[in-house]
Structure 1
Amino acid sequence: MTTDFPGGAELTHLLVVSDLARSRDFYRDVVGADLVREYGGTSAVLRLCGTWLLLVTGGGPTEDKPTVTFTPPADADRVSHEMTFRVVDCRAAYATLRARGARFLTPPVEHDAEVRCFFRDPDGHLLELSEGR
């Protein structure tokens, strides 16, 4: 099923972070995102794998989301979402990102349909490298 928005649309993935500079540097220098712009020390917009990534610091309710508070993950081992990077060669991507400072939970693990491994950003957001077989 395709969702069609009048005039088109692009998807932005938003992550709430505790230290904007640290997270911006991680996604730019370790993962390879392009920094597009920053806003007042509270948010940064990056391009990553053909999509937008918005890093924001936490904040309380606003007029348009009166019951919502943005906070970074309280417990990195309890995950409600992750971002998966589908790669051609999981082991090569693992070696590249590890050399740039990414800390992985384990080296790549082989499964029937894929090779995959997981790492976290500075706030504990879970990220995955996955190679289809």
Structure 2
Amino acid sequence: MTETLAAAYGADLAVTHILVVSELNQSRAFWVDVLGAEIYREYGGTSLVLRFGGSWLLLVTGGPPTVDKPDTTFAAPPDPTRVSHALTLRVADCLGVYEILRARGAVFLAPPHDWGGEIRCFTRDPDGHLIEFSQAG
């Protein structure tokens, strides 16, 4: 086959981030009501596709292996202080985002910090997934 990788991907290639959550309704409320994501599609009470910041986010509840991933179990993070995956959202006004999201119920690890070339702050979703808000300085 002489098809290039770009051709095999197609013009509509999109990256979807998958977060395994312990309670879908609680996570939906956080991502939609607090952070402002838009619901695109729901699947049987176990998964939810969101449009957020020009990307796709798939929230799924944990589950056992399946035919297409026979040795892989999905589980929400057991310890929110140990991070193996994080989302960074590049924003125009980190302090403004911080104030708005705090008013909506988001709990931040610390207020925004100015590192000179970047201002950033971090929050977690209900399962402990780390979310960074970053403003170029």
TM-score (norm 1): 0.95
Q: Deviations over 1:88-111 (max 9, x none)?
A: 110001001111110000000110
* Secondary structure class of the residue paired with 1:21: helix
Does 2:116 align with 1:132?
A: no
Which residue number corresponds to residue 49 of structure 1?
53
Which residue number corresponds to residue 29 of structure 1?
33
Counterpart of 1:113, as a letter, is G
Offset at residue 7 of structure 1 (A): 4.5
* Secondary structure class of the residue paired with 1:26: helix
Contiguous gaps of at least 5 residues in structure 2: none
Aligned length: 131
Counterpart of 1:36, as a letter, is Y
Structure 1 segment 109-128 matched on structure 2, within 5 A: 109-128=113-132
Contiguous gaps of at least 5 residues in structure 1: none
Q: Distance in 2 between matches of 1:80 and 1:46?
A: 21
- Select which of 3, 16, 21 maps to 2:20: 16
Runs of 4+ in 1 over 6 A off after TM superposition: none
Which residue number corresponds to residue 69 of structure 1?
73
Q: Distance in 2 between matches of 1:6 and 1:30?
A: 34
Offset at residue 6 of structure 1 (A): 3.1
Counterpart of 1:12, as a letter, is T
Counterpart of 1:127, as a letter, is I
Instruction: Let me know the Cα RMSD of the aligned residues.
Output: 1.0
Counterpart of 1:126, as a letter, is L
Q: Distance in 2 between matches of 1:7 and 1:96?
A: 36
Larger radius of gyration: 2
